[in-house]
Structure 1
Amino acid sequence: MSNVGPTANSGPVWRRIPSGIWALGFVSLLMDVSSEMIHALLPVYLVVGLGATALTVGIIEGIAEATASITKIFSGALSDRIGRRKELAALGYGLAAVTKPIFPLAPTVGWLVTARFVDRIGKGIRGAPRDALVADISPPELRGASFGLRQSLDTVGAFLGPLLAIGLMWLFADDFVSVFWVAVIPAFLAFGLIVFAVREPRRQEGLRQVRNPLSRRELALLGTTYWWVVAVAAVFTLARFSEAFLILRAEGTGLPLMLVPAVLVVMNVAYALSAYPAGALSDRMDRVTILVIGLGLLIAADLVLALAPGLLGIACGVVLWGLHMGFTQGLLATLIADAAPAELRGTAFGMFNLITGIALLAASVIAGALWDGVGPQGTFLAGAAFSVLTIIGLYPLRRRLNARKGG
């Protein structure tokens, strides 16, 4: 499959996005089907099946995502040093595929922690090189749409996975292990697709060769605008802790066990439907304005989840949470691609993911501690407070971005 698609300024935006972006999107879709089939059931399996606490869930989720983020900095830097992205991305997808069978084989919490840890190492290896590859393939005038499309396809997998989990939980009479075995299949399909359907573009002529991407000198070359984007994203990450707490909130309100994965289905439908339009819109207007809208949606989600009674209120909060993801996640990646030099994109995405991963670890532990100590209301109200702080930090970032365009 060729990565070169039509880029003339005519026809629908989605038709002008290079085919390589579509292929990477479907790779993400398949891997997310696999991962989310497991992720949708894992928090309840830990609490109900193995007797873990909400704090334990928060620590496991935080460690898992932080592990992925730490790995991304090294894989991203290595992709800059060798000047290639695809091999590392394929390695990460392959590792995630071969470790999926650990989940159905795990007899204790310790084994599940190990499974999440190894699976997230695979995610970490592929993450930064894949995002840099998206930036390398996409034309600058379609960058927001390209990241939005990949995010939307990724998120389609994220709601198909829980839907399959619901159906399979019914089919297998609430047998978690059988569902985990089925989740192995799409992971291997994703690995095959990236190996055979994605081609890496030639390296741009004139790009500087990077010998030590993680040196102080190279990190300084990322620029102050890049580091400001990272700082704002870190505070924002404190506001958007693991979606495991959305699942626990719904289960605690009386949602039947078999329907618990529907929480992620509803959230990811809203996410998938909004990510591509938000990304395409960001190519035509101010990206920071769209981020502010996304943060407003997160504040509304937190308030609803904290204060609204009953399952209908929880459903509204989950939809708002999904919309905020669609308006922010692809856009943050686009801002990183905009701000970083082309030869340091892997390092830029890796460092971004490292810092936000550390913030996610802190966010998940804080959320779990508040949940156990104060209750769900304290967790979600704290998220709203961090969202307000992020909005405050966006206004200096807007000035820096405008000054960069003017320069």
Structure 2
Amino acid sequence: MANNTAEPRFARLREIPPAVWALGFVSLLMDTSSEIIHALLPVYLVQVLGASMVTVGFIEGIAEATASIMKVFSGAVSDWLGKRKLLAVIGYGLAALTKPIFPLAPSVGWLVAARFVDRIGKGIRGAPRDALIADVTPAHLRGASFGLRQSLDTAGGFIGPALAVGLMWLTVNNFRTVFWIAVIPAFLCVALLVLAIDEPERPAGLRKVKSPLSAAELKRLGLAYWFVVGIAVVFSLARFSEAFLILRAQAVGLPVTLVPLVLVLMNLVYSFAAYPAGALSDRVNRITLLSIGFGFLVAADLVLAFTNGLAGVAAGVALWGLHMGFTQGLLATLVADTAPPELRGTAYGMFNLLSGLSLLVASVLAGELWEHVGPQSTFLAGAVFTALAFSGLAMARRIAPNVGDGGKFE
């Protein structure tokens, strides 16, 4: 019986296009590099460079908002060109070139600049990469394909912090040496992207887009797409930077050398949840699964708000990973479901711009609440915003009942 159940899952994995697998491993390598640095950066900022909690929130928020702003332009350019890979190479290449800034930075200002430029690279590559996945994937495999890429990307999210823990131990907490080692997988990532991925030809009958960001083209994206974006914007107010998970663990007594284990646990759960959630969404309504993901975030926020021990923080972090697995790939899949094929780059760009600006607000607000009220208020605010996003899902089901039913809007 177990073998019969497992076989369709493996068959579905074999059906996923090779380009999606390659893009997944590209993401894994870059995320490994980034997360080695990201796992240590909040503590490095606060303990070594003397930054405040508000500064941490601002840096994390502005970094992600920068990436989101760039995505709207790179996505639109990819629709105008009808090409995705070139922009992905530029984006990953820029991120790789900026990695050496982290070990060389003598002050908070330099680290802000490094994060800023690194996120510009992320912004350039993000929308074209996701649009490329949507372009090469059949509608009935979209959830599985986006889930696989997210799962591989997130594998880098626990491999990186795990390496950070081991390297911090080997180097006796030498932050800069560990940051130098993080440069290696970033350059391997760019080599894989250049050599292993061939972009498909643009379909002959696909409408050419001259002004992707014009009001007329944005209107073509349709009501269902804008519902997805609206839900994501409210939801982003709830999911502030994971830097606050690290700082919560440190606040209850986790030693600095073991702090990266927070991201190891979160991303381990996230990685293992993302593909099954995506594959399941090809067979059931995606909005239903997204609702489950929102529920996991409320539970995570409540646990992290009221716990006073490491076991409670670990449970909250695991629930946070589950919510990521049940939401991030599904939201990306819903964009592909609802956006016209010729505007997919623009669709991902607008989606990431608006949700990224929301994340900026969320991260700054989280830092302010933590600094002036306390950690509990930060996580309780997250639970409230998640509840608001959940009510948006219910409204979407009433007004646009077919959202979430796969390729309905093709």
| TM-score > 0.5, shorter chain as reference | yes
Q: Secondary structure at the match of 1:41?
A: helix
Structural mapping, 1:7-406, within 5 Å:
12-403=11-402
What is the alpha-carbon distance in structure 1 between the residues aligned to residue 399 and residue 334 of structure 2? 12
Q: Secondary structure at the match of 1:157?
A: helix
Give 1:210 shift. Answer: 0.2
What is the alpha-carbon distance in structure 1 between the residues aligned to residue 291 and residue 253 of structure 2? 33
What is the alpha-carbon distance in structure 2 between the residues aligned to residue 11 and residue 227 of structure 1? 34
What amino acid is aligned across from residue 156 of structure 2 in structure 1? G
What amino acid is aligned across from residue 77 of structure 1 in structure 2? A
What is the alpha-carbon distance in structure 2 between the residues aligned to residue 81 and residue 284 of structure 1? 33
Give 1:22 shift. Answer: 0.3
1:161-209 deviation per Cα after TM superposition (whole angstroms, max 9, x unaligned): 0000000000100000000000000000000000000111121231100
Asked whether the equivalents of residues 69 and 350 of structure 1 are also in contact (C-alpha less than 8 Å), the reply is yes
What is the alpha-carbon distance in structure 2 between the residues aligned to residue 247 and residue 133 of structure 1? 33
What is the alpha-carbon distance in structure 1 between the residues aligned to residue 203 and residue 386 of structure 2? 38
What is the alpha-carbon distance in structure 1 between the residues aligned to residue 130 and residue 313 of structure 2? 33
CA-atom RMSD in angstroms: 1.2
Give 1:396 shift. Answer: 2.1
What is the alpha-carbon distance in structure 2 between the residues aligned to residue 372 and residue 311 of structure 1? 21
1:260-317 deviation per Cα after TM superposition (whole angstroms, max 9, x unaligned): 0000000000000000000000000010110010000000000000002200000000
Asked whether the equivalents of residues 64 and 120 of structure 1 are also in contact (C-alpha less than 8 Å), the reply is yes
1:305-353 deviation per Cα after TM superposition (whole angstroms, max 9, x unaligned): 0002200000000000000000000000000000000000000000000
Give 1:399 shift. Answer: 3.4
What amino acid is aligned across from residue 201 of structure 2 in structure 1? R
Asked whether the equivalents of residues 213 and 219 of structure 1 are also in contact (C-alpha less than 8 Å), the reply is yes
What is the alpha-carbon distance in structure 2 between the residues aligned to residue 168 and residue 388 of structure 1? 40
Give 1:134 shift. Answer: 0.6
Give 1:61 shift. Answer: 0.4
**Residues 373, 339 of structure 1: CA spacing in aligned structure 2 closer, same or farther, 3 A cutoff?**
same
Asked whether the equivalents of residues 225 and 400 of structure 1 are also in contact (C-alpha less than 8 Å), the reply is no
What amino acid is aligned across from residue 158 of structure 2 in structure 1? F
What amino acid is aligned across from residue 50 of structure 1 in structure 2? L
The unaligned stretches of length 5 or more in structure 1 are 1-8
Give 1:390 shift. Answer: 0.5
What is the alpha-carbon distance in structure 2 between the residues aligned to residue 62 and residue 309 of structure 1? 26
Q: Secondary structure at the match of 1:239?
A: coil
Give 1:11 shift. Answer: 5.9
Q: Secondary structure at the match of 2:240?
A: coil
**Residues 10, 116 of structure 1: CA spacing in aligned structure 2 closer, same or farther, 3 A cutoff?**
closer
Number of aligned residue pairs: 399
What is the alpha-carbon distance in structure 2 between the residues aligned to residue 361 and residue 296 of structure 1? 22
Which residue number in structure 2 is paired with residue 4 of structure 1?
none
What amino acid is aligned across from residue 340 of structure 2 in structure 1? P
Give 1:10 shift. Answer: 9.5
Q: Secondary structure at the match of 1:291?
A: helix
What is the alpha-carbon distance in structure 2 between the residues aligned to residue 293 and residue 319 of structure 1? 15
1:361-384 deviation per Cα after TM superposition (whole angstroms, max 9, x unaligned): 000000000000111000000000
Give 1:13 shift. Answer: 1.0
What amino acid is aligned across from residue 225 of structure 1 in structure 2? A
Q: Secondary structure at the match of 2:187?
A: helix
Asked whether the equivalents of residues 153 and 272 of structure 1 are also in contact (C-alpha less than 8 Å), the reply is yes
Length-normalised TM-score, structure 2: 0.96
**Residues 11, 385 of structure 1: CA spacing in aligned structure 2 closer, same or farther, 3 A cutoff?**
closer
Give 1:395 shift. Answer: 1.4
The unaligned stretches of length 5 or more in structure 2 are 1-7
Give the % identical residues. 68
What amino acid is aligned across from residue 33 of structure 2 in structure 1? S
Length-normalised TM-score, structure 1: 0.96
Give 1:401 shift. Answer: 4.3
What amino acid is aligned across from residue 28 of structure 2 in structure 1? L
Give 1:109 shift. Answer: 0.2
What amino acid is aligned across from residue 109 of structure 2 in structure 1? G
What is the alpha-carbon distance in structure 1 between the residues aligned to residue 401 and residue 138 of structure 2? 21
Asked whether the equivalents of residues 58 and 364 of structure 1 are also in contact (C-alpha less than 8 Å), the reply is yes
What is the alpha-carbon distance in structure 2 between the residues aligned to residue 146 and residue 285 of structure 1? 15
Q: Secondary structure at the match of 1:189?
A: helix
What is the alpha-carbon distance in structure 1 between the residues aligned to residue 136 and residue 362 of structure 2? 33
What amino acid is aligned across from residue 193 of structure 2 in structure 1? I
